[in-house]
Structure 1
Amino acid sequence: MSIYSQFDYYALIFLNSFSFLDPFMLFVSLKFDYFIFLIIAVLYYYNGREQTILFLALLVSAWALALALKPVFEVPRPEDIRFVTCTTGYSMPSGHSLMSFALATFLHPRAGKYKLLVWAFAITVSLSRIFIGVHYPSDVIVGAFIGLLVGFFWICVEKMLIKYGLFGYSLEKAR
């Protein structure tokens, strides 16, 4: 076992050992989808259809990328630990981390005084996957990094759409 894989395993064991956090971490991990629907509704209400469509495109692309990369990496899920919940399939990258960091990156310019809350949510969702025993820390780190890239990509797409007049709003107005 390499030093990196030893660290990954021991960090997982350590974080997975805080059983008093199980209800909270399980709630955050499993209710992530509901939070996304809330964001969609708020975006639509305050910023209109165009930003909502762009946000949905970001979510679909992040989800599809996570699914496409799992068979490329072929990292098995953790074993021989305390499972709070079970899941199937490969482990790397963490789809929850990828999506939550893509979401946080995309929402950052729009979040105003809630920027810290957006990032805290992304970090909490990502860490919850380790706490409940379904991902190694490296899965979460890789997912978060790819999520940042996906979020930046969609911000660039949005800027190009605005620049070429395909969107009827500006990011400055959205802030």
Structure 2
Amino acid sequence: MTVLVRKFDVFIMLFINKYLRNKYLDIFMCIMTKLGNMGAVWIAIAIYSLMDKQYRYEGKVVLSTLIISTIIGEGVLKNLIKRSRPFDAEKNVKLLITKPISYSFPSGHALSSFAVAGVLSVYFAKYELIFIGLAFFIAISRIYLCVHYTTDVIGGIAIGLICSKFILVVLNFK
């Protein structure tokens, strides 16, 4: 971990804690993170799609994307990189949610959210802003809540988008 990246991550975290934290954003960000917990919102969308014969294929693709992105992020990358969480490294951090027990890089919430949002945006283009917006707020909530560094989230977003493109290429989406 380079010193420059560490300084950037700590600066962003301290800036958020000092200038942006308030009771309204605390509530909003906790809700956003809960939507991303275990891919809850994406699973709900997949189940809804699976129940409609017209969108059953898309529901299967969403579930597959969620599983693949989780294996890549939680199963492989976090265990290879083993980056500690901000609340472990910075002792003046006040957590508003339960401490996650896995490693920090990449953000699993950001990775899976952007992987699924990327796929959904292709299949349901008219809702693209909603999917990407939801993924964005889920990802940002992780920084706001001090459970990820900014670079964890940026890495998660990038890997998630690569995952979605890969899945679409493998499925030969036209």
- Shorter chain as normaliser: what TM range? 0.7 to 0.9
Could you tell me which residue of structure 1 aligns to residue 160 of structure 2? 147
1:133 aligns with 2:146: yes
- Quote the offset at 1:157 in angstroms: 1.7
Q: TM-score, normalised by structure 2?
A: 0.85
The residue identity in structure 1 corresponding to 2:152 is: D
Identity %: 29
Q: Which residue of 1 aligns with 2:78?
A: 70
Moved runs in structure 1, 4+ residues, more than 4 A?
none
* Unmatched segments (≥5 aa) in structure 1: 161-170
Q: Is the 8 A contact 1:29 1:129 kept in 2?
A: yes
Name whichever of 97-106 and 74-83 sits farther off.
74-83
When residues 132 and 59 of structure 1 are mapped into structure 2, their CA distance, relative to the original with a 3 A threshold, is same
Aligned to 2:6: 5
CA deviations 1:72-129 (Å, max 9, x no partner) are 1111001321211221121000000000010111011122322111111111000000
Corresponding residue for residue 46 of structure 2: 40
How well do the aligned residues superpose, as a CA RMSD in angstroms?
1.7
Aligned equivalent of 1:87, options 93, 100, 103: 100
Letter in 2 for 1:2: V
TM-score by length of 1: 0.84
d(CA) in 1 for partners of 2:123 and 2:66? 16
- Give the number of equivalent residue pairs: 161
Which has the larger displacement, 48-57 or 119-128? Answer: 48-57
Counterpart of 1:12 in structure 2: which amino acid? M
Secondary structure of the 2:67 match is helix
